[in-house]
A and B are shown apart, each in its own frame.
Chain A
Amino acid sequence: MPGKTPLPVMPARQLQPSVPLVALDYLWFQVAGTVCNLRCAHCFISCAPDNHNFWFLDLETVRNYLEQSKAWGVKEYYFTGGEPFMNRDLLPMLEEALFLGPASVLTNGTLLPEKTVRRLAEIDASSGFSLELRVSIDGPTAESNDAIRGTGCFDRAMEGIQRLVAHGLMPILTAAQLWDPAQDLEVLDQFTDALRKVGYDRPRIKILPTLRLGREAARTRGYSDGELVTRAMMEGYEVTQLLCSTGRVVSDRGVHVCPILLEEPDALLGATLEEADRPHTLSSRACYTCWLHGAICTNYGGIGQEL
């Protein structure tokens, strides 16, 4: 039975803090594994058409975890990849998730033909829960975005957004902060204009920090030695700001601590939610980014300059 995890007793020599699963609020599904139709230069799990490291989840597996999730009181379901729309069962998965609670899809927006969007709108209309579509675009112009995501991606993702909006959905444009943070407001304005041009008059925008893992580490730099979460840094820190204290992610291998550390061996916690209910040591340097910015992966976290 799900229950409260007692605070872990830390061995004296362990330097990194350990984070318990305080409550399983967010259940993620790595529905497309590491398979993606794009090959973005900043992808922190290096997804690509030929990256079969993690494979697609099937409907039966998702259904099984959805069923398990009820006893845990899971609040929100997230569908990610790779590119979730490459999974041909994504729509029925969403339908089943939305029967239980709110669902969010993290997509690159390039695989949203009319037929798919019409189905999404129907699925949304048939549920009282919110269906959130988070469309990743990393620059407000074709030039800035496509340098990272590939030629033509800006236009294709904008067309995807246009179709979603035309069907009454309200996607959240999600951008990795690849520009100088001092330009946040300017970039936000440019995004807003670009979205208005495709008919989105109440644009929703979320800005995320980059995670210096995978291809992003090669593109810019990896984490430095000082960028590590220490036990002292956790004193007085609200631990539920970290996704690993409130969420888990399901892949074709089992249940991992968070979607960020998918590839790290010690992030795979077990085969069931029950087995994944144990503390995790923040030994990855990516934890530093979480520590700085809080629950960046959920719909309402994010960064952005104060007005």
Chain B
Amino acid sequence: MLYATSEQAYSRVAVFGGVYANHRALRAAIEDARLRGAEAIFCLGDLGAFGPSPNRVFPLLIESGVHSIRGNYDESISRGLEDCQCGYTDPRDNHFARLSYRYTFANTSQRWRDWMGRLPAGRRIRLGSSRLLMSHGSPRRTNEFLWESTTPSHFLEKLCDDHDADVILATHTGIPWARRLSGDRLFANVGAIGRPANDGSPAVCYAMLWADGGAVDVESIPLHYDHEALAMEMKAERLPEEFIETILTGWWTTCNEILPMKERRRGRY
């Protein structure tokens, strides 16, 4: 994978993933992260999908100096691939994935496609004295799903060893979780700001990470934003009712078949 590497050492950073064209949550996340003292803001990719008018997120990311990497969606859109490479295997999931991919593809201008094509696949930074590695699905595969209930700790330990990292971050699943590993190492899935986490709350979430001398700590920050306004825009764009319901209720209505049993059971559908 092609990584961007920065030797600059940070002490407090905000990281989010899964923007899914939710420009309202993106704006709110950037403001919130600044208020909470983030020195830099990073994005783990999947800029389009699901939400309305995908072109709106790019100027926001650029103006605010958000450092992004490329998700599977961004890769597909920028390269003009057939589908989003989301990794769904169920026919109904694929049906909705296709609707949203077609819409996003048709509504993303060439300029932003090219821009996404130039994003790195991963990024390394220093947080305190820790080596932090950002990925979309995982450092080994852009569309790997790392759910809490299907990711063993020994797997994460090996990932850190294999990729020379003390902290690994990922997104792609849309549900945040974190696990402390041996030697104060850490894995965190930062969740998504574009879509609620299937927990019955319309809030979305991002991660704040900091190093006060020792190990890196992480907190998942719930973020409330004007989700009703977003729902109105989605209606105006004639996006599927199912997607709008998720934005309003916080429950996933589609793409549930990919969920492992424990994550599925916590949801409504």
Contacts and interface: CB of A to CB of B under 8 A. Distances in A.
Given A73-B157, A74-B155, A204-B257, A302 B89 contact: yes
A168 B91 contact: no
Given A130-B262, A202-B269, A306-B94, A73 B150 contact: no
B155 A129 contact: no
Contacts of B147: 130
A306 B91 contact: yes
A307 B91 contact: yes
Interface string B245-262: 000000000001110111
B154 A102 contact: no
A118 interface: no
Contact of B264 (A70, A124, A170): A170
B121 to A, nearest CB: 17
A199 interface: no
B265 A101 contact: no
A307 B92 contact: yes
Most buried by A among B89, B257, B265: B89
B107 interface: no
B150 A304 contact: no
A2 to B, nearest CB: 8
Classify the interface of chain B: helix, strand, loop or mixed.
helix
Task: Name the interface size band of chain B.
Answer: 20 to 34
Contacts of B64: none
Given A168-B265, A202-B269, A129 B91 contact: no
Interface string B149-190: 111101101110000000000000000000000000000000
A73 B265 CA distance: 26
Interface residues of A, number: 34
Contacts of B157: 73
A74 B155 CA distance: 6
B237 interface: no
Interface in B17-36: none
B241 to A, nearest CB: 16
Nearest to A76: B150
A144 to B, nearest CB: 20
Contacts of A188: 91
A130 B150 contact: yes
Contacts of A131: 261
A75 interface: yes
A124 B261 CA distance: 10
A306 B98 CA distance: 10
Contacts of B262: 128-130
Nearest to B141: A240
A70 B154 contact: yes
Nearest to B258: A300
Which 7 interchain pairs have the tightest Cβ spacing? A101-B152, A73-B158, A307-B95, A130-B260, A70-B154, A130-B149, A130-B261
Given A73-B159, A74-B152, 16 more contacts: A71-B154, A73-B154, A75-B152, A101-B150, A101-B155, A102-B152, A124-B261, A130-B263, A132-B261, A202-B256, A300-B89, A300-B257, A302-B89, A305-B91, A306-B94, A307-B92
27 contacts: A69-B154, A70-B154, A73-B159, A74-B152, A74-B155, A75-B150, A75-B152, A75-B155, A100-B154, A101-B151, A101-B155, A129-B149, A129-B262, A130-B263, A132-B261, A169-B261, A170-B261, A184-B91, A202-B264, A204-B264, A299-B260, A300-B87, A300-B89, A304-B90, A306-B94, A306-B95, A307-B94
